[in-house]
Amino acid sequence: MSFIDIYGHDKQIGVLQAAMARNRVAHAYLFHGIKGIGKRTTALVFAKALNCVEGRKEFDACDKCSSCLKTDHRNHPDVTIIETEGQFIKIREIRDLQNQMKFKPFEGGKRIFIIIDADKMNITSANALLKTLEEPSPSNILILITSRPYQLPLTVLSRCQHLRFTPLLKEIIVSFLQERVSMVSDSAGVLALSSGGSIGKALEMSSGARLTLRSKILTKLSESRMNNHISVLSFLEEFGKERKGIIDRLDVLRAFYRDALVYKETTRTERLINQDYVDIIRSVADRLSGDDILDNIKIVNWASNAIDRNVNKALTLEAMAFKINW
C-alpha cells in the first residue's frame, strides 16, 4: 500500500509529503483521531515512503522494492512497532527503543518507531520516552498513535508534531466498501452511516455477528417498557460480561439515542444512522424531550468511558440503566 491507496486523508498525507520534499521531517509525530480511521495505516506507509529505494522522487512508497516489501512483512530492521502487553506499554519496551536509537539505521535512511495506543504508556514509560523526545536524533523518527491524546502527559504532547485524523465522510467509506470489499450500495450506505466516520468500524460492523448484535439490542429496546427494575435488568442481560462486547453494545445504544435526537430536532430520516429502525426512533423521539435524549447520550458516554477504564462493569451498567430516561 502507498499514499495513493489511502482513503480520505489527503490533507494529512500532504503534510507528510511536504515535509519529505523539504527534508524537514519532524523527529516525533502524534497521529490522533478515532479508532479505525487509518492512523496506523498512514504511519506504516509513511515509514515505507521514508526508506523506499525507488519512490523517493514522488515522496511515496513504490510497494515493490526490498525496503517496502520488508516493511509490509514486518521484518524491516529499521521499522519497529511497539504495542501494549496487557493493559500498558511497559518500560522495557521504551528502554529497548532507546537502546536501538543509539545506533545508525541498518538499511534505510531513517529508523522509525511506531507506538500503537501510545496513551497506554504508564507514567514510568511516558517519562522515559520524554527523555528521548527532549534529545532527538536526526536519523530516528517516533510516531505516536492514539485515539485518546488527552491521556498523554502535556510534556510529551508538546514535543510532537500533531496530525489529527478527522472522521471520514460517508461517501468515502461507501467508496471503500464498494471498491475494496465489493459491498452492494445499500449495505455500504447503512454501514457508512453507522461507522461514525471510521473505515475500521465499518468493516467490523459488516460481519453478520455485529449486525445481529445491533438487531438484538434495538429489538429488545422496542419490546421493553423499562417501567420497572425487572425490565431494566432484563435489558442489561443483553450486554453480557465481556468488556469489548459491552462497549460495542453501548455504541449501538449511543447511536440509537443520537438518531432519536436528530429526528426530534429535524424529523428528517435521511440523516439517521439506523434508518431501518425509524419506527422505534420516532417512538422514543415523541416520548422524550430533547434534553432527556441528550442526557441519555451523556450517560451512555459516561458508562462507555468508565468500562474502557476497567471500572466494575456490572455496577457501571446498572448505574447507567437507572439513570437513563426510558
List average pLDDT for each run of 10 residues in the chain, which is 326 residues long. Answer: 93 95 94 94 95 79 92 93 85 90 88 95 90 85 95 93 94 92 82 85 77 82 69 82 88 92 91 85 92 95 90 92 88
pLDDT at 57: 61
pLDDT at 178: 92
Give CATH superfamily name and number for 3-165: P-loop containing nucleotide triphosphate hydrolases (3.40.50.300)
Q: Nearest CA to 292 among 321, 316, 324?
A: 324
Question: Which residues make up the CATH 3.40.50.300 domain(s) of the chain?
Answer: 3-165
pLDDT at 270: 82
Nine-digit cell at 108?
Answer: 534505510
- How many distinct helices (H) and strands (E) make up the chain? 15, 5
Q: Which helix (H) or strand (E) holds 24?
A: none
Question: Which residues make up the CATH 1.20.272 domain(s) of the chain?
Answer: 207-323
- Name residues whose C-beta falls within 8 Å of residue 50's C-beta, 6 or more positions apart in sequence: 20, 25, 108, 109, 110, 112, 141
pTM to 2 decimals? 0.79
144 vs 156: CA distance, rounded Å: 10
295 vs 289: CA distance, rounded Å: 10
- Are the C-beta atoms of residues 273 and 288 closer than 8 Å to each other? no
**Residue 162 CA to chain centroid, in angstroms?**
16
pLDDT at 225: 63
Beta strand 79-82 pairing with 111-115: parallel
> What architecture does CATH give domain 207-323?
Up-down Bundle (1.20)
Task: Indicate if the alpha-carbon torsion angle 30, 72, 12, 179 is positive or negative.
Answer: negative
**Residue 309 CA to chain centroid, in angstroms?**
16
